[in-house]
């Protein structure tokens, strides 16, 4: 039998410290319990000299918030033209994963006893996590859809590079198909806005009584939630092509990272809104570059490629090949980091729910019917 205290200790360790490289598996009832992490339980209660540990605790929070500020600051590139490039979006998603890892490390270092936790925090975590899973699925769906255009362009490029005028009509048809495919709407992306609205509702700095370490942990987790919600809104705006999904969040100016976040948000939001106001086919930099090449080639094919246009035509085909390869690689790389973030969230949620059931505990009402 698992004692209530032991169950709560194991459950919260799994909830807040998911390992990023672990395999995702559902626990099997017939198997003996195995610790989810191969290091000491961060929630055990150790003896510390009060004043000495208080100084260490404040130092840990300061270190987390300093690291958070630096990760946010990296999102303002030297060249604003890099904003909404696939490499910039990859950096933003990698930053989220790092922030979640920093939270895990903070939990371990704080050595927070389980008796200081409120069960409501567990409900909030589970409710937020399912929303993050849903929005990650929407992002993955859109990246996959965009990458499917790679096959269409590969076929068209094969015909164009054959240097056979008889095959140019097929190539032209492929370019038209690509434009129709990329220009279509993804229903999953349309679900992002209500998810973002719910995430914004969850943004508050919880009041914690009788636990100094709990207060500092909740403050750190608030920073993680703000960064996650904002970056998700940037992705939603980019994929939907709508500024309605772009959030303008306000955070208490007493937080040491507040000014950095405000500067990042203002810089990024102004640039994104400028891009969206231009009415371009897409706001993604690499995708826009491919679209420009496709439009140029389509015009050449419609007008006819004569002897005088041969050199220009070959250069246009070469440009399309290069920009298309850059787009495909960028989409693949971004897809990997979005998938990694998804797994980080899923492992914590899955581990918690599995252990609740294994120990005979009740699944919180907030997640009944929401299992992934």
61: CB partners within 8 A, 6+ apart:
106, 216, 219, 220
What token pair was written down for 20? 């990023």
Give me the pLDDT at residue 353, please. 67
What token pair was written down for 331? 């989409």
What distance in Å separates the CA atoms of residue 333 and residue 146, rounded to the nearest whole number?
13
What distance in Å separates the CA atoms of residue 139 and residue 145, rounded to the nearest whole number?
10
Q: Is 28 helix (H, G, I), strand (E, B) or coil?
A: coil
Cβ(158)–Cβ(170) below 8 Å: no
Phi-psi domain of 163 (left: phi exceeds 0; alpha: psi -120 through 50; beta: other): left
Cβ(192)–Cβ(135) below 8 Å: yes
Give me the pLDDT at residue 136, please. 96
Cβ(123)–Cβ(366) below 8 Å: yes
What distance in Å separates the CA atoms of residue 372 and residue 276, rounded to the nearest whole number?
34
Residue 149 lies in a domain: yes
Look-up: residue for tokens 């996959």? 144
Cβ(239)–Cβ(142) below 8 Å: yes
What token pair was written down for 73? 């600051």
Residue 17 lies in a domain: no
131-134: Cβ within 8 A, 24+ apart: 131/195, 131/198, 131/199, 132/199, 132/228, 132/232, 132/345, 133/342, 133/345, 133/346, 133/349, 133/372, 134/191, 134/195
Q: Is 368 helix (H, G, I), strand (E, B) or coil?
A: coil
Residue 1 lies in a domain: no
Give me the pLDDT at residue 175, please. 93
What token pair was written down for 158? 């094969």
Report CA Rg, the chain.
25
Look-up: residue for tokens 């969850």? 202
Residue 87 CB neighbours (<10 A) = 16
Question: Dihedral angle at the C-alpha atoms of 44, 360, 349, 215, nearest 10 degrees?
Answer: -40
What token pair was written down for 272? 């994104």
Q: At what angle do helices 4-16 and 86-110 cross, to 10 degrees?
A: 150
Residue 9 lies in a domain: no
Q: Within 13 Å of residue 35, how many CA atoms lie on the same side as its CB? A: 10
What token pair was written down for 248? 């303008």
Burial profile 125-144: b = 16 or more Cβ within 10 angstroms, e = fewer: bbbbbbbbbbbbebbbbbbe
Residue 253 lies in a domain: yes
- In tens digits, the chain (372 residues) has pLDDT values of 444 444 444 444 444 444 444 443 333 344 444 333 333 344 344 445 556 657 777 788 999 999 999 999 999 998 988 999 999 999 999 999 999 888 878 877 877 644 455 676 667 777 888 999 999 999 999 999 999 999 999 999 988 888 777 788 888 999 999 999 999 999 999 999 999 999 999 888 767 666 677 788 888 889 999 999 999 999 999 999 999 999 999 999 999 999 999 999 999 999 999 998 988 878 999 999 999 999 999 988 887 777 777 888 889 999 999 999 999 999 999 999 999 999 988 876 775 566 556 545 555 555 554 555
Residue 369 CB neighbours (<10 A) = 7
Cβ(275)–Cβ(84) below 8 Å: yes
Give me the pLDDT at residue 343, please. 92
Look-up: residue for tokens 């150790």? 46
Q: HEC states along 146-196?
A: HHHHHHHHHHHHHHHCCCCHHHHHHHHHHHHHHHHHHHCCCCCHHHHHHHH
Residue 7 lies in a domain: no
Q: What domain range includes position 82?
A: 59-353
Residue 260 lies in a domain: yes
Give me the pLDDT at residue 325, please. 95
Q: How many separate domains does the chain show? A: 1
DSSP-assigned letter for residue 27:
P
Residue 342 lies in a domain: yes
Cβ(226)–Cβ(261) below 8 Å: yes
What token pair was written down for 17? 């410290």
């Amino acid at each position: 039998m698992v004692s209530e205290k032991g169950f709560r200790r194991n459950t919260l360790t799994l909830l807040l410290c998911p390992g990023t490289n672990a395999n995702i598996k559902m626990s099997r009832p017939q198997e003996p319990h195995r610790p989810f992490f191969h290091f000491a339980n961060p929630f055990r209660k150790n003896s510390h000299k009060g004043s000495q540990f208080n100084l260490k605790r404040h130092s840990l929070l300061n270190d987390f918030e300093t690291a958070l500020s630096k990760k946010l600051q990296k999102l303002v590139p030297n060249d604003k033209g890099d904003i909404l490039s696939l490499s910039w979006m990859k950096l933003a998603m990698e930053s989220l994963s790092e922030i979640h890892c920093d939270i895990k490390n903070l939990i371990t270092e704080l050595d927070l006893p389980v008796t200081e936790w409120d069960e409501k925090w567990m409900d909030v975590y589970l409710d937020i996590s399912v929303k993050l899973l849903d929005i990650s699925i929407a992002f993955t769906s859109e990246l996959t859809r965009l990458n499917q255009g790679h096959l269409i362009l590969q076929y068209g490029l094969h015909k164009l590079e054959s240097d056979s005028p008889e095959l140019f009509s097929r190539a032209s048809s492929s370019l038209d198909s690509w434009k129709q495919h990329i220009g279509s709407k993804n229903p999953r992306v349309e679900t992002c806005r209500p998810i973002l609205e719910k995430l914004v509702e969850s943004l508050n700095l919880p009041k914690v009584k009788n636990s100094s370490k709990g207060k500092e942990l909740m403050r750190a987790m608030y920073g993680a939630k703000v960064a996650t919600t904002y970056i998700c809104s940037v992705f939603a705006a980019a994929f939907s092509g709508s500024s309605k999904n772009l959030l303008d969040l306000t955070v208490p100016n007493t937080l040491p990272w507040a000014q950095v976040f405000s500067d990042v948000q203002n810089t990024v939001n102004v640039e994104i809104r400028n891009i969206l106001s231009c009415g371009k086919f897409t706001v993604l930099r690499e995708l826009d570059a491919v679209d420009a090449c496709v439009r140029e080639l389509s015009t050449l094919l419609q007008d006819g490629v004569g002897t005088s246009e041969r050199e220009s035509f070959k250069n246009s085909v070469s440009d399309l090949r290069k920009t298309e390869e850059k787009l495909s690689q960028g989409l693949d790389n971004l897809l990997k980091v979005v998938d990694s973030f998804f797994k980080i969230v899923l492992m914590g949620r899955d581990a918690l729910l599995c252990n609740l059931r294994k120990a005979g505990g009740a699944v919180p009402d907030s997640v009944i019917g929401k299992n992934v």
